[in-house]
Structure 1
Amino acid sequence: VGQTEVIEQVLICLICDAHALLEGVPGLAKSLLVETLSRCITGTTFRRIQFVPDMLPSDILGVNAFNPIKQDFYIIKGPIFANFILADEINRAPPKTQAAMMEAMQERKVNIHKEEFILDKPFLVLATQNPLEQQGVYPLPEALVDRFFMKILVDYPKWDEELEIIDRNTLIKYDIFEPVKPVMDKQTILAIQRDVRKIYISTPVKEYILKIITATRIKDEKIKYTKYIKYGASPRGTIALALAARAVALMDGRDFVTPGDVKLIAHPVLRHRIILNYEGKAAGISTDEIIDEILEEVEVP
């Protein structure tokens, strides 16, 4: 119910064959979102991984186990072997486990006891982190956060939406997944992932993207909030913004990208790629405010 913007951004990640970091308080149906998405595509699987402080990499990737009857070893694959994965509270896992998860996400393959396994496509990981608790967590390093295609903020539902949530979840014998019907198969989504890269971006729009990215790196007197930036977006951010804009155009039924597409998706693509300095943190400035000002000041072609 509701969360239209969040759903659209998750779909963009799926179309771009990329992963997202979701941030929001517990109970906002993040797990439901991912599982529902998997049910819309036939032949796909969903797994939820609940991260805890004592979790090992093998708990995610899998393990080489011994069969005492056959006197032989065999592979037990971990929950990473699914098409849609909710990595719940990833910041609770120790750094070694976080690194193993990120490596699998990046390489799209897993090594278990010197044996390599290619992960099935489509492969979408939505990782969540709880912004409320600070105890018993291992904050994700900036270098790892940058590997997420988007950082999506999940907020509370609106008044009328929450009224509908009450009705849907308190009725007797109501199956929450009953209205969900498959709309495409795996091959269709893989074809869409190929088609999105064919969307045309003109040189002026490419330059517009680059101007936005450059504005996060250089202190500009015209953009006062840039003085609060310690590190700006990397070339990975440039690529992500261009690809996400292509996905926006594709979802809108166009074969070309406009500056409006870039503006529409700039916040989730860039908000986690801008690192604030101490002055910015002390002033309580958010990266979204910086992006707002950059989009306002950078000339639109």
Structure 2
Amino acid sequence: MELLNYTIQDEKGRLDKVLTEVFSQFSRSQIQGWLKDGRVTVNEEVTRANYKVKHGDKIEINRPEPRVIEAVAQDIPLEVIYEDDEVMVINKPQGMVVHPSAGHPDGTLVNALMNHSDKLSTINDVIRPGIVHRIDKDTSGLLMVAKNDEAHLFLADQLKERKALRKYVALVHGVIPHDKGTITAPIGRSKDNRQKQAVVKDGKPAVTHFEVLERFSEFTLVECQLETGRTHQIRVHMNYIEFPIAGDPLYGPRKTLQGNGQFLHAKTLGFEHPKTHEVMTFSSDLPEVFNKTLEDLRNNVAFS
């Protein structure tokens, strides 16, 4: 058990939002859970999440002991596009988290990988064996996985040096008038919402190239190529130029196409093999719901 204390100064608004900003090391869902469990008091009284804080309010959080997260092998279906002694290429389905965390202790890609192979790199700590790079839970598509530390370092260096090929297909709101473009805008954590990334002056350099594949009456299908790999990069950049990804619950509009999250698919992955030094390129099909939505748009099917 750990007690966290804070006295409200200039902060304003709902208690849950203020606490998320003040205690930014914790997620909003964690803080909301503590509020629901009665672990948060204001002036020694258990208080609801929608309480509007006042100057001088004394807040105390009775934080539970953090849960120890362990990655264990689980028999979860895994679509292996390629595998040898050095590397794997996996086609991750929409809805699967890449590695265990406090909010997703199991059922992740890592749990599936551990069941599939006992040879995975160990560089990225015990809950991320083999993981060289990530894609979001509701983004589908291709990931490279290292089977030993030497391969991991080689692949990670390609990402760092911007030599790996990573192309995504995205369906965005609005009709993009130009055929291609490049978004160069630094990305960092949002000052307004700690769960989001944003284009900020002091962010890390981020570059996304895009090309229009197909236009519809209210949407555009684009191919996005990453030059850098910041958290939520394509989602943030497309929203920044006012063409947010359809179905994106965090960066897109509320009225959007219905699917299983953002219409974003890591379609093409290319890299130099750690041992043979052969340049290898892989591609994967769009998920069924993505293809069905595109067909409906082409046939002018009305969306409610």
Give the TM-score normalised by the residue count of structure 1.
Answer: 0.22
Greater helix share, structure number? 1
Larger relative CO (CA 8 A, sep 6+): 1 or 2? 1
